[in-house]
Structure 1
Amino acid sequence: MAKDKFPYSFKVTAASVVNKDQTVVVAPDEAGLKAIAEAFDLEAARGLKAEFTLKPYRKAGLRVVGPVTATIAQVCVVSLEPFESSLKLDVDRTFEAHSGKPGKIRDLNEDGEIEVDLESLDPPDVIVDGVLDLGAVICEELALSLDPFPRKPGVAFEGGVADADDEVAEKKPSPFAALQALKDGKET
């Protein structure tokens, strides 16, 4: 999925949040839910709702805080049965109107490398043309939270890797058994 191409969009003007917090509830309609489900290989997405509080951040930025809840239906990679699960994601992200001087990449050291401090907060994302797409925020958070190999609760993969000839696989000694035999042979 391209960075600027999300299956759902809900845009707000950053300038509308000036000196006080603003609450925004985002709930995609049926077409939006269907587009999100298709984009993320879900059987279905239902009850998707975000209750964001938009807070002023620095001079022209925004902080987006609040929960995203949904019920999603996926297909189990083990049993191939569809199953539903509930999601509750806590969003806390910051956005700035610009990311530094035009044409300059942020956070490069003198060697031209990006330095990452694992103890610091993530740098703010960018508000493009004064507009923040809360639909894109929801889609990004959802994409990051989905298990790429979903399993229905209680289902486990049994049997391990199947060989072409299961009887030969059963008779093959464990490499650890061979090591134990060498050890036992040296001690006697």
Structure 2
Amino acid sequence: MATDTFPYSFKVNAASVVDKDHKMVVEPDAAGLKAIAGTYDLDAISDLKADFRLKPYRKAGLRVVGTITADITQTCVVSLEPFDSRLRLDVDRTFEPHSSRPAKTRDLNADGEIEIDLETLDPPDVIIDGVLDLGAVICEEIALSLDPFPRKPGVEFKAGEVDDSLEEDKSEEKPSPFAVLEALKARNED
């Protein structure tokens, strides 16, 4: 997981979680909230809290289990009005210091196509240089949960409804080229 690509970082030494669970609460400051909101096209994030439990996983890995709650403000794609909503995300991810993902050649079938088994669990993510960035985990979870076309509750787009200003623009459109040709043809016949 490359932390350079995320707007917020909260790094934890993976070696510190060896034989027992560690409770970790992550609450970004105002600058962190602003950076996350700006990166994911949110109007604002007024509150964000990640309540994690870090557990040992296999020999040198970690399991991150917990919840992320966030109060966000988005713009409705239908009404263009800002609206508030609350995210509650359950997190359960595993991390290892090396990649346990199968080699690319093992993912290919006889036709050279990649086969994906939707029934198997995702392989663990990778811990880079002994450091796990919980800020990156938070950012990924938020990014994956956001609706790309957010709608304010109760607002619906109804097909066939046209804004009055659009109707006025329609009446001022240029005539079609065929109508111009028909008018020229009629004038030449006279």
Q: TM-score, normalised by structure 2?
A: 0.78
Change (3 A) 1:108 1:61: same
Residue 53 of structure 1 aligns with which residue? 53
Amino acid at match of 2:123: P
Q: In 1, are the aligned partners of 2:109 and 2:115 still within 8 Å (CA)?
A: no
Residue 93 of structure 1 aligns with which residue? 93
Change (3 A) 1:160 1:125: farther
Q: Tell me the secondary structure at the aligned position of residue 18 of structure 2.
A: coil
Residue 107 of structure 2 aligns with which residue? 108
Q: Tell me the secondary structure at the aligned position of residue 144 of structure 2.
A: helix
Residue 185 of structure 2 aligns with which residue? none
1:134 Cα deviation (Å)? Answer: 0.3
Amino acid at match of 2:39: A
Amino acid at match of 1:82: P
Residue 32 of structure 1 aligns with which residue? 32
Write the distance in 1 (CA, Å) between the matches of 2:75 and 2:109. 48
Write the distance in 1 (CA, Å) between the matches of 2:161 and 2:89. 35
Q: Tell me the secondary structure at the aligned position of residue 148 of structure 1.
A: coil
Q: Percent identity of the aligned residues?
A: 69
Q: Tell me the secondary structure at the aligned position of residue 90 of structure 2.
A: strand
Amino acid at match of 2:131: V
Amino acid at match of 2:16: S
Residue 77 of structure 1 aligns with which residue? 77
Please give the residue correspondences for 1:1-188 in structure 2 after superposition, counting only pairs within 5 Å: 4-100=4-100, 105=104, 107-109=106-108, 111=110, 114-160=114-160
Write the distance in 2 (CA, Å) between the matches of 1:22 and 1:105. 35
Write the distance in 1 (CA, Å) between the matches of 2:46 and 2:130. 30
Unaligned runs of 5+ in 2: 172-190
Q: Tell me the secondary structure at the aligned position of residue 136 of structure 1.
A: helix
Amino acid at match of 1:142: I
Write the distance in 2 (CA, Å) between the matches of 1:65 and 1:48. 17
Write the distance in 2 (CA, Å) between the matches of 1:150 and 1:38. 16
Write the distance in 2 (CA, Å) between the matches of 1:59 and 1:159. 57
Q: In 1, are the aligned partners of 2:45 and 2:73 still within 8 Å (CA)?
A: yes
Amino acid at match of 1:70: A
Unaligned runs of 5+ in 1: 167-188
Give CA deviations for 1:4-31 in whole Å, capped at 9, x if unaligned: 4100000001000000000100000000
Give CA deviations for 1:120-156 in whole Å, capped at 9, x if unaligned: 1111000000000000000000000000000000001
Which structure would you say has the larger Rg? 2
Equivalent pairs counted in the alignment come to 163
Moved more, 141-150 or 156-165: 156-165
Write the distance in 1 (CA, Å) between the matches of 2:148 and 2:22. 34
Amino acid at match of 1:139: C
Q: In 1, are the aligned partners of 2:45 and 2:72 still within 8 Å (CA)?
A: yes
Q: TM-score, normalised by structure 1?
A: 0.79
Aligned-pair RMSD on alpha carbons?
2.3
